[in-house]
Amino acid sequence: MGYESVINSQADEGILGSMEQTLLGGRYQVVRRLGSGGFSRTFLVIDIHLPNHPRCVIKQLKVQDKDTGTLDMARRLFDTEAQVLYQLGNHPQIPALMAHFEEDQEFYLAQEYIEGSRLNRQIEEGKPWSETRVVLLLQEVLEILSFVHRQQVIHRDIKPSNLIRRHRDGKLVLIDFGAVKQVTSSPLLDAETGATNITVAIGTHGYMPNEQYAGKPRFSSDVYAVGILGIRALTGLHPQKLEEDPITSEIAWRQHAPAVSSSLAAVLDKMVRYDFRDRYPTAQEALEALQNLPNPLHGLVGTQIYQTWMKGANGRGPTFPGDENDTAVGPAETSEPTAFADDQDSTSLFPVDLAYSSGKGTAPPPAASSALDFQPFPRRRSLVLGSLLGIVGTGLVFWRSGLTIALELNGAEPAIPFQASAVPVLTTDLGILLPPEEKAAFLTRQGDRLRHQGRYPDALATYDEAVKSQSDYAAAHLGRCRTLIALKRPIEAITACDDALAYSTYYPEAVRSKGNAEEQRGRLLAALALYESTNNLMPAMFEAWLDRGRVLQKLGRSAEAIAAVDQAIARNRESAEAWTVRGQATWTLKRYDQAIIAAEKALQIDPNYGPAKELREQARQTLGR
């Protein structure tokens, strides 16, 4: 099947003019074109059927060959891929797929609109990142990609322009799972190898490993791309400028980052091995390797400090493919943006190297391969410090309890920090280095991790610190709300959610969480109204549909509960609670066979789910089966 490879800009403008007069899918009004790729056009639209006309992104996929057989195959594969995207959209750092439809033999995806700045605005040619900055980036990308791989999906196009730093909470969002890639190939996976059965090479030059060029990507192909992303940031060189070893075909990159620690270099080397069998098999294994690096600070103390990166790279806001003032990033990258915005304010958490000043210019300190590799100067040339010092001679160092620093006083070389006791944990040490805006974002992420671990008092204290740092940081208030709900303090939770909504006008997650608090208080009608509002604001949010169904069942409105929970199941079929609520509602309506089927499905997902076991036992006692 063929696709348009080039979209004429003049024709685009004419099409856009006509599209602005038409409602796509009967509900989406085109505002403007965002970008064009080899297979698609992307538009910013508003949904006129929902209150407040929320914005979203429409990707139009064009099929050049429109004979019946080709269209039928495209339609089948498109629908299959859309189901995958619905499932992936349940992750908070992947844009939710809100709708997919066909109109006039064209295919359309409606996706969540992400306000943020693309990562290729920060990864600039000739400007290497520090090691700490690279490790934090790799960990965040691999955390998202681990989820993708668990869903048996290979992204196949990891690169800077497909990562967006979201303005709302500073988190990275992975985009461009475009169904167009699956339309041109089979989406089926080999259960043993993890490879997709495809015959067309899909991806971006420089980020594609050998097997992907051959049309046989594995999960480790994505690991390769993430490794290349790290090497690009670490060296400041576009991957197409990196040479290969003529004998082994391995990428020769270390000479461009001579200060990199041996431990991180070893991980990156394994991520980008020429033979896919020598790489980490999935993102999860690569993530674990990064998390097990011997020095959790990766040279942070004494060499780096965090700053706020305002208004995108070089003071500019995010840009889109084709923008004349887009930041130069080396050889052109094919990009098919799926969800991004043009908000001119961009605040992201990025560390930058602290310049070491001397009469002979600046020079970065040598990086240590691990905490145990830090070596002190001879006693006559060093000074052991136990407090925070300013600039002395050639170096600036930081101190926190338990850390001892060696400082070169008069020599030409920069200071080399060494470890006299345990390295302080990353969360603690970064707290003294971050400005207020970035400290709030960093602490909120730490609070999220603590909350997910069930450490609610610690999480609440961390969110409180984030709010102290920046009182209008909406994500921190939302974290407080969710934690207070877990602690069974719903009145305080409602106040926290109201604070989040006061600082962020569009925050469906906060609306839903406020509904959870109202439900916990027993105010079911108030909770229902909030869940319905969340459904309108973000139709793709599975949890809000489930909440709505659960409350409707509590209110005795079982038929409506089934309709709501069916919406939840359509977005996530692997929820034991959703199937159980459906079973309870059908049982109330005396649809006993349906209730039993729903209970069995719930127990297949979670054999120990109590409410489902109770429903099945009720069926046995009442019906004798």
- CATH classification at residue 26: 3.30.200.20
Q: What are the phi and psi torsion angles at 263 (to 5°)?
A: -70, -45
**What is the percentage of the chain residues whose pLDDT exceeds 90?**
38
Is 344 within the bounds of a domain?
Answer: no
43 and 169 belong to one structural domain: no
| Res. 19 pLDDT band, cuts 50 70 90 | low
User: Tokens representing 321?
Assistant: 């493919």
Q: What is the mean pLDDT of residues 256-280?
A: 94
Average pLDDT, the chain: 73
pLDDT of residue 572: 86
Q: State the burial class of residue 190 (Cβ atoms within 10 Å of its Cβ: 0-12, 13-18, 19+).
A: exposed
| Least confident window among 39-48, 155-164, 262-271 | 39-48
Among 112, 135, 164, which residue terminates a domain? 112
Is 372 within the bounds of a domain?
Answer: no
Question: Could you give the CA distance from residue 598 to residue 590 in angstroms, rounded to a whole number?
Answer: 13
Q: Judge contact between 402 and 422, C-beta under 8 A.
A: yes
Q: What is the mean pLDDT of residues 503-508?
A: 82
The DSSP-derived string for 265-296 is HHHHHHHT-SSGGGS-SSHHHHHHHHHT-S-T
Active-site annotation holder among 157, 176, 429, 448: 157
Residue labelled with tokens 């000739």: 126
Instruction: Identify the domain containing residue 295 by its residue range.
Output: 116-315
Which helix (H) or strand (E) is 97 found in, with range?
A: strand 97-103
134 and 163 belong to one structural domain: yes
Among 89, 112, 135, which residue terminates a domain? 112
Is 327 within the bounds of a domain?
Answer: no
89 and 120 belong to one structural domain: no
Is 254 within the bounds of a domain?
Answer: yes
pLDDT of residue 462: 95
Is 126 within the bounds of a domain?
Answer: yes
Q: Which amino acid is at 339?
A: A
235 and 169 belong to one structural domain: yes
Is 363 within the bounds of a domain?
Answer: no
Is 448 within the bounds of a domain?
Answer: no
Question: Could you give the CA distance from residue 70 to residue 319 in angstroms, rounded to a whole number?
Answer: 35
180 and 223 belong to one structural domain: yes
Residue 547 annotated among the catalytic residues of the structure: no
Question: Could you give the CA distance from residue 216 to residue 153 in angstroms, rounded to a whole number?
Answer: 13
Q: Is the pLDDT of residue 299 over 60?
A: no
| Least confident window among 153-167, 208-222, 412-426, 490-504 | 412-426
Tallying the residues shown for the chain, one arrives at 625
**What is the percentage of the chain residues whose pLDDT exceeds 70?**
67
Q: How many domains does the chain have?
A: 3
pLDDT of residue 560: 96
Nearest to 342 by CA among 322, 371, 362: 322
Q: Judge contact between 423 and 404, C-beta under 8 A.
A: no
pLDDT of residue 393: 32
167 and 130 belong to one structural domain: yes
Q: Is the pLDDT of residue 603 over 50?
A: yes
DSSP code at position 193: T
